[in-house]
Amino acid sequence: MNNEDLWVELDDSSTAKDFASLMPMTLTLDDYASKEKVSDLPRRLNTDGAPRGYQPSAGDITYYEPWGNLAIFYKDFGYSNGLIRLGHIAGPLTALTQTNSVRAAFSL
C-alpha cells in the first residue's frame, strides 16, 4: 500500500491531550468487525471528565476505555459505553478500509 497522509483534528479534551502526549508513535492498526481499526496504546489514557459513551461516525478516532485501546472508525457504528472520542480524520478513509493490518505513524 502506498504511504498516505491523513490529517486529524483532535478534540479539546483531557483524553485527547493525553493521546497527543504519546506522539510521535507508530502503531499497527488491525481490522475489527469490518468497521474499525484498533491498536493497543503504550499506556492507558486519562479519562477524567470524559462522557460515559459515544456513538462514532466514520472518520472518528476514539479511545475504548474498557480495553485501553485506540479505535479508528471507517464506518458508522452504534453507541458504545466506554468509548471516548479523541478527534476526527479530515479527508478520505481509503487507507483504513483495507481488511489487512495497517502501520500508522502518528505525529503532531
* pLDDT in the model for residue 1: 44
pLDDT of residue 73: 97
Instruction: Report angle CA 2, 34, 71 to the nearest 5 degrees.
Output: 75
Total of domains in the chain: 1
pTM attached to this predicted model = 0.93
3 state SS of 37: strand
Q: What is the largest CA-CA distance in the chain?
A: 38
Domain assignment of residue 95, given as a range: 7-106
The answer as to whether 102 is a domain residue is yes
Residue 12 lies in a domain: yes
In a domain, 2, yes or no: no
Q: What is the pLDDT of residue 94?
A: 87
**pLDDT at residue 92, as a whole number:** 86
**58 belongs to a structural domain:** yes
- The three cell numbers of residue 56 are 462514532
Q: What confidence score (pLDDT) does residue 2 get?
A: 58
One pLDDT digit (tens) per residue for the chain, 108 residues = 457 778 899 999 999 999 999 999 999 999 999 999 999 999 999 999 999 999 999 999 999 999 999 999 999 999 999 999 999 998 888 888 888 899 999 998
CATH number at residue 78: 2.40.100.20
Q: Please check whether residue 1 lies inside any domain of the structure.
A: no
